[in-house]
Amino acid sequence: MKKVLAFDIGGTKIAYAVIDKKGNFTNEIIKVTTPKTSAGIFELLKTVIKGFEDEVDGVAIATAGAINNDNNKIISHVGNLPEKYNELDFTSLTSKPILLENDANAAGWAEFKLGAAKGTRNAVILTLGTGVGSGIIVDGKLLKGKSGSAGEMHMRFGFGHERKCTCGLWDCLETYVSGNALTTDAKVYISPEATSYDVIKGLKENNQKARAAFDHWQEYLENALVMMGNLFDPEVIVLSGSMAQFVEYDRLNKQANDDILTQPFKLKPAKFENNAGMLGVALLLLERLN
Amino acid sequence: MKKVLAFDIGGTKIAYAVIDKKGNFTNEIIKVTTPKTSAGIFELLKTVIKGFEDEVDGVAIATAGAINNDNNKIISHVGNLPEKYNELDFTSLTSKPILLENDANAAGWAEFKLGAAKGTRNAVILTLGTGVGSGIIVDGKLLKGKSGSAGEMHMRFGFGHERKCTCGLWDCLETYVSGNALTTDAKVYISPEATSYDVIKGLKENNQKARAAFDHWQEYLENALVMMGNLFDPEVIVLSGSMAQFVEYDRLNKQANDDILTQPFKLKPAKFENNAGMLGVALLLLERLN
């Protein structure tokens, strides 16, 4: 059975595994800290690929950043990754077939094919991690746009110049709905040293300041759901990424559906959690190899 | 050649005309003031349809509001139209084939098939009228979602509870980018009695207050373009509706493309202006009749 070596390159960690046509991970997932330079990332990928090259049919890479599918390069600067990451020539890493996909697009495809959005035709998968990404399924296909980089979740959520975004603008949705955003709320509602971890810890201890920080963060998330519900009229919105486990699904599901103009959607947690990116890009490449 | 009777039902006016397969308007477009009650709208439509029924092959209606294509009904309340408009049973108007489509979707389809977005595969057509609507083309097809009502442009542009939206929420994009929004800016920058007409008039006279009001309005529009560029990665964004003629295209084209993370799009004025809704829904119905 055909299988590929799949990577997920994030701002904090790089994970990799071998994945077969049925979506099975045939070895344990390895996770390493993301090197601090783009050259370091490239060397790491090269070494790992060399080690697996004889046993796989291709290399699939899920990564932060908008992808140009015409040349497998990253479009423009990616906030959470080192400088010049967008200059890396990924195709030179191997002579085997190689496919890059935005990590959130890849995660969306995994949830659509085998996960929480399986059986639907229109779905939005939001990845709430260090940043915020989306994989959007329109009529059974991944929303790509003209160059493959659609689904970038950078839109203004305010005009007060309150939160600087990694994209260079101010007050993007990402600055209110990501893991980093919860840390921003922690500093406002708890203390200047507090982080998202303190909010999550405080929630379990019924700490009122932590609750206020979390409610503020979740109010913005609810508005992100309303936006995506109104724009895409999906059957399901799936939340993925490290922050997804903390969301109050029943509450947000009701609130957001009360506020949309379109027909109700169902809010669900992702099935594959942090492995969705690797799985999705592997499935995309394996579909092409057939 | 097959032809249909096409309507465009807006909050201010109802327009109608007969349109053939090639997109030709075979009679003069008639415009009447929108009746103040839903029953009045229904009676008007019925009378006009009766008058044309013998010479057309169907009835195509572009209207404000999200449409459920399964039953040709409007989903939920439509801010700019009378109460109970969403309860009207449009299918009972005629025994001929009838198709309803959201006016902005219809306008988008007209621009995509025969207008400013012709020849593209991914396009966003924003209609800036009393409210704001969108017709979004994804990979050559109209973005519809699960029930046909995708493309509703209601997303929060701020959280200060500054502008009440017709959808019931606060500070939606529509309250910043519509014709009504320019009137709001006119009241802030010019005088409490001023409207959008005073802004447009003042611009021609180089009035500084009018310029400030317009710049504020256009800044929000630029951010709407960034949002749609990042989300859909379109080849073109087309501006339609009554406000589109006042936009500074070169300036906004440059600013928005400087701010997006995706590849550049082209900003263009619509070809069909206010007749795009009628034309688009007519083309959609005529495609089905073939």
- pLDDT in the model for residue A73: 85
Distance from CA of B262 to the nearest CA of A (A): 6
- The stretch B42-57 carries a mean pLDDT of 96
Instruction: Tell me which residue of A60, A102, A61 sits closest to A80, measured CA to CA.
Output: A102
- Dihedral sign of CA atoms A78, A84, A87, A89 in order: negative
Taking CB atoms and an 8 Å limit, are B263 and A227 in contact across chains? no
CA A125 to the chain's CA centroid = 8
**Is A231 in Cβ contact with B156 (below 8 Å)?**
no
Task: State the DSSP code for A62.
Answer: E
Where helices occur in chain A by DSSP H, the ranges are 38-52, 103-114, 174-177, 179-189, 196-204, 208-232, 249-259, 276-289
Cα separation, B8 vs B125, in Å, equals 17
| Residue B165 DSSP one-character state | -
Contact: A145, B232; criterion CB under 8 Å: yes
Which residues of chain A make contact with B221, given a CB cutoff of 8 A?
A: none
**Which of B184, B253, B192 has its CA nearest to residue B217?**
B184
Map residue B156 onto helix, strand or coil. Answer: strand
The 10s digit of each residue's pLDDT in B113-122 is 999 999 999 9
> Residue A226: which of B155, B157, B233 has the nearest Cβ?
B155
Chain B residues touching A235 at Cβ < 8 A: 146
* Highest mean pLDDT out of B60-74, B165-179, B204-218: B204-218
Residue A168: left (phi > 0), alpha (psi -120 to 50), or beta?
A: left
Q: How far is B33 from chain A (nearest CA, A)?
A: 26
Per DSSP bridges, beta strands A13-20 and A30-33 are: antiparallel
What ipTM is given for this predicted complex?
0.90
- A/B interface, count of CB pairs below 8 Å: 154
* B132 chain-A contacts, CB cut-off 8 A: none
**Confidence at residue B158, expressed as pLDDT on a 0 to 100 scale:** 85
Residue of B70, B149, B227, B261 best to disrupt the A interface, most CBs of A under 10 A:
B261
Q: What is the pLDDT of residue A260?
A: 92
Interface test with B, best of A159, A217, A231, A260 (most B CBs within 10 A): A231
For range B15-26, the mean pLDDT:
95
Among candidate residues B114, B239, B96, the one with its CA nearest the CA of residue B177: B239
Its pTM stands at 0.91
Contact assignment for B152 to A262 by CB distance below 8 Å: yes
- φ, ψ of residue A141 to 5 degrees: the values are -125, 150
- pLDDT of B77 reads 66
B230 and A153 within 8 Å at the Cβ level: the answer is yes
3 state DSSP class of A74:
strand
**pLDDT score, position B90:** 95
Interface test with B, best of A69, A121, A124, A138 (most B CBs within 10 A): A138
Q: What is the DSSP string of B30-98?
A: EEEEPPSSHHHHHHHHHHHHHHHGGG-S-EEEEESSEEETTTTEEES--TTS-TTGGG--GGGG-SS-E
Shortest Cα–Cα distance, B152 to chain A (Å):
5
CA distance linking residue A84 with residue A120, whole number of Å: 38
Amino acid A273: pLDDT: 76
Q: Do B66 and A150 touch (CB under 8 A)?
A: no
Say if the Cβ atoms of B227 and A156 lie within 8 Å.
yes
Largest interatomic CA distance in chain B: 56
Q: At what angle do helices B103-114 and B276-289 cross, to 10 degrees?
A: 80
The span from the CA of B258 to the CA of A223, in Å, is 26
Beta pairing partners, A101: A62
User: Shortest Cα distance from A267 to chain B (angstroms)?
Assistant: 15
Question: Which of A137, A114, A32 has its CA nearest to residue A282?
Answer: A114
Residue ranges for chain A with pLDDT beneath 50? none
Report in angstroms the alpha-carbon separations of B91 from B4, B42, B61, B98, B277. 15, 11, 11, 7, 19
Residue carrying the six token digits 């790491």? A44
Using a CB-CB distance cutoff of 8 angstroms, which residues of chain B are in contact with residue A152?
A: 230-231, 233, 260-262
- Give the CA angle between residues A12, A16, A19 to the nearest 5°: 145
Per cent of chain A over pLDDT 90 is: 80
Of A40, A3, A10, nearest to A24 by C-alpha is A3
CA B11 – CA B272 distance, rounded (Å): 19
Strand order across the A236-240 sheet: A141-142, A132-138, A123-128, A236-240, A266-269
Asked whether the beta carbons of A13 and A35 are under 8 A apart, the reply is: no
pLDDT band, very low/low/confident/very high, at B261 (cuts 50, 70, 90)? confident
Task: Note the helical H segments in A119-192.
Answer: 174-177, 179-189
| Structure confidence by residue, pLDDT tens digits, B170-199 | 999 999 999 999 999 999 999 999 999 999
More confident: B168 or A62: A62
Q: Using a CB-CB distance cutoff of 8 angstroms, which residues of chain B are in contact with residue A160? A: 158, 160
- Residue scoring higher pLDDT (B74 or B249): B249
Q: Are strands A132-138 and A141-142 parallel, antiparallel or unpaired?
A: antiparallel
For B14, the token pair is 């109802």
Radius of gyration of chain B (CA): 19
Whether the pLDDT of residue B22 is over 80: the answer is: yes
Looking at residue A129, what is its pLDDT?
86
- Residue-averaged pLDDT of chain B: 93
- Cβ contact B152–A261 (<8 Å): yes
Contact yes or no for B151/A231 (Cβ under 8 A): yes
Write down the pLDDT at residue A77. Answer: 67
Cβ-Cβ contacts under 8 Å, B75 against chain A: 261-263
Alpha helices in B156-242 (DSSP H): 174-177, 179-189, 196-204, 208-232
Question: Residue A156: its chain B contacts at CB < 8 A?
Answer: 157, 223, 226-227
Please indicate whether, in this complex, the C-beta atoms of A149 and B76 are within 8 angstroms of each other: no
